[in-house]
Structure 1
Amino acid sequence: MIFSLIGQLKAFVFGSPNSPEVYRTLKIADVPVTTAECRSCADPCDEDHDDFPSGLDIDMDSDMLGSVYPYRRQVLISTGKRDWEIEVTEAKGTLAAFLETANSSLSTPKKPNDPLPSGLLFSHTEAKFLSILNGSHRPFSYDESEETVIVLPDFMVVSGVSRTLAGAEVLWKAALDPALDRAGVITRTDNLLNTWVLPYSCLILLCSHKRRDKRCSVTAPILEKTFHLYLEREGWEVHTNLYDLTSEPSLESQASSTTEKERLVETQLKSLHAEHRALILMSSHFGGHQFAGNCVIYTPRGAGVWYGRVTPHNVESIVKHTIIDGQVIPTILRGGVDLPCRGKKTLYDW
């Protein structure tokens, strides 16, 4: 009932996804937005695109706007897999489960009278929820008990995280505590974790969680192939696994104070868009499987654009307008974190 009322309110305020009101609302909110179509090919398609098989039963009618639960941070845990248990945070002995326990014990509990959050446009600094996901990337360490974690929207990588409750607590205190900025802490007693800036111009997350919903497992590999194709056509380097950063100096080895570390992080982040290098990873369920294919695009500035009902016919437009030009396409938008860019023209501008 609550979500129905929220949907009606969004429909009243924003109109349908194709309405000019959505474009105007995003523009007023200082979100870099484009009027370009979400697909650049004809409908029906007259190009040689792969397509989804029939019978996927994708929801093409419900309102997607705001169908994102606001989060302060999202963590992606290395597993080297593309499918997982139905509830990754309930799988015993996994870092996802330990991190769920650590977050519950260490974070400030939500107050009963806290307002129901809106998930169309939200700032991660104002949200409280920690989104815990498994990813397809492999850990850096040969020690099978250690994981490599990507922290978003911070655009940071943390390695050497022990797959124990103690390891999850160390990670939380070093990089996930809401009191911390994206650079995390500089003075630690654990001497175990190493951190780096995620060395890509953008990160593309595709939900492939088959045991949660078959639609995502069918659409994700096709979208991965199509993103790879169109990014390479634009001259971009494309990776489908996070390359091992341990041969490069960690942030801890280069900075002796919090201020110095934050300055180093910002300098590195600002240089990434010019690299034209993309990372595509599969992810466990992050909501909205009825809107498959589901796609989240993160930029080094910390913006995260959530798209739904993405098909291979949309990928060329997403690559050109969102990944390269840094602009949001309203017609397939579900919501996003830190999208407003006051006085800026793209999601890459600082």
Structure 2
Amino acid sequence: MHPKDSAYKMTATLKNFYYKLTPTSSSISVPKLKKPGEFTKAPTSDALFPTTDPTVDGDDCLHDCSSCTIKYPSKFVIDETEELYGHVKGWSTHLIVGTGKTDWVRDVADEKGSIMEAVDKGDVKPDNGKLMLSASNIPIPDHSDHSTTVLLLPSFQFIDHVTPANTPDLIKNFVNKGPTNTSSFPFVQEQSVDESAESGIPPTLSAPALTARPCPHKYLILLCSQKTRDARCGQSAPLLRRELERHLRPLGLYRDLHDERPGGVGIYFISHVGGHKFSANVMIYRKASAVKEAEGGGDGQSKTEDSNNQQVMLDVNKAQEEEGNGEAAQCIWLARIRPEDCENVIRYTVLQGKVVKPGSQLRGGFDRCKEVVSW
């Protein structure tokens, strides 16, 4: 064994030993009475998201995809030893900026004249907790004002006509007044009668030069693709997208960047989220309607027969969209995802909210219905 490899493994071992001695361990946590609307830290992964169980989910949950032909490059080596769960820093909202690109300058906030720079270095800051800021490959609209579109989570809203100049309005009227990852579900914005009367419309729906609309997707998969931070992210993201698409298409769930049919799964490339040594990082946001269906035993799909008596899978999310139940209830943050994991990630994690390999792949997340977080 090379001396550097030995030193690396020793460092990882010491880190894991330290983690087991810190208050993240359920064995030394002190139970306390939970107040209504108060979120608590899930001491173990099972307390946050259920794990697949072959007695319930079948033996398929024990096996990686056998039909996958996509492979990572031979030199794709990542950290396989350090513990993942419970060590991501908490965030309150997630702002995903459309740039039409899949790679960016090392720190996206350093991109001159960008929305990312305006948000990160502007004078107006979010007052409802930490904002996670990501650049993405969401297309730039063909607007004469050279504006772009951003996606705000957990509100699951697209906000159009965003420019560096109106980012203070974006933060004040949308980020600050929207739900956070630790807002009780469903979120209700408190608003004075006078304020409503002056504006004429709820400020969470529009603002000067800004227009919000619901994100039509029921699920979002965010893949770090920033190769300027780590080559492995640039290598893994397009390969995972191809494999995810292969499994989503037969289910009628795949949505490309310009497909705004209700329901389905939107897949976006985003900038660095931390932990590239655990590539590939995958963040999965699930709407509340998806969570409720999974809890009720459904997988978000309805089976019917066509004129040839062949069973087809139909997306049936319009009803949930019309109910207005459009906020994210969960975010499941995974790492060390490989192409052969994609089938079960779709089948169990995206559609049912279950984690297949929590011990080696779950970094953290939140569940607003259960009012628990990993941090």
TM-score, normalised via structure 1 length: 0.71
1:179-219 deviations in Å (ceiling 9; x for gaps): 54368782489431111111012000000001111010101
Match status 1:328 vs 2:345: no
Secondary structure at the aligned position of 1:221 is classed as: helix
Matched with 1:115 is none
Give every structure 1 segment of 4 or more consecutive aligned residues whose post-TM-superposition deviation is greater than 4 Å.
3-6, 36-40, 182-185, 242-245
Matched with 2:44 is 25
Q: What letter corresponds to residue 335 of structure 1 in structure 2?
A: G
Name the CA distance, whole Å, in 2 between partners of 1:39 and 1:313.
12
Matched with 1:192 is 209
Name the CA distance, whole Å, in 1 between partners of 2:83 and 2:92.
24
Superposition pairs of residues 121-200 of structure 1, within 5 angstroms: 128-143=129-144, 145-162=146-163, 164=164, 166-177=165-176, 179-181=177-179, 186-187=202-203, 190-200=207-217
Q: CA RMSD, aligned part only?
A: 3.3
Match status 1:310 vs 2:322: no
Match status 1:9 vs 2:38: no
Q: What letter corresponds to residue 213 of structure 1 in structure 2?
A: D
| Unmatched tracts of structure 1, length 5 or more | 16-22, 109-124, 246-271, 343-350
1:80-99 deviations in Å (ceiling 9; x for gaps): 11000100012221100101
Name the CA distance, whole Å, in 2 between partners of 1:175 and 1:152.
10
1:89-112 deviations in Å (ceiling 9; x for gaps): 12221100101123x54345xxxx
Aligned residues with identical type, % of pairs: 25
Secondary structure at the aligned position of 2:104 is classed as: coil
Matched with 2:77 is 57
Name the CA distance, whole Å, in 2 between partners of 1:48 and 1:322.
18
Higher RCO (CA 8 Å, separation ≥ 6 residues): 1
1:41 Cα deviation (Å)? Answer: 3.8
Matched with 2:120 is 100
Contact 1:139 1:159 in 2 (8 A): no
Name the CA distance, whole Å, in 1 between partners of 2:141 and 2:253.
21
Matched with 2:300 is none
Secondary structure at the aligned position of 1:34 is classed as: coil
Structure 1 pair 161/48, CA: closer, same or farther in 2 (3 Å)? closer
1:327 Cα deviation (Å)? Answer: 2.0
1:131 Cα deviation (Å)? Answer: 0.8
Matched with 1:216 is 233
Aligned residues: 280
Contact 1:80 1:138 in 2 (8 A): yes
1:307-326 deviations in Å (ceiling 9; x for gaps): 00000111111111111222
Structure 1 pair 237/47, CA: closer, same or farther in 2 (3 Å)? closer
Matched with 1:116 is none
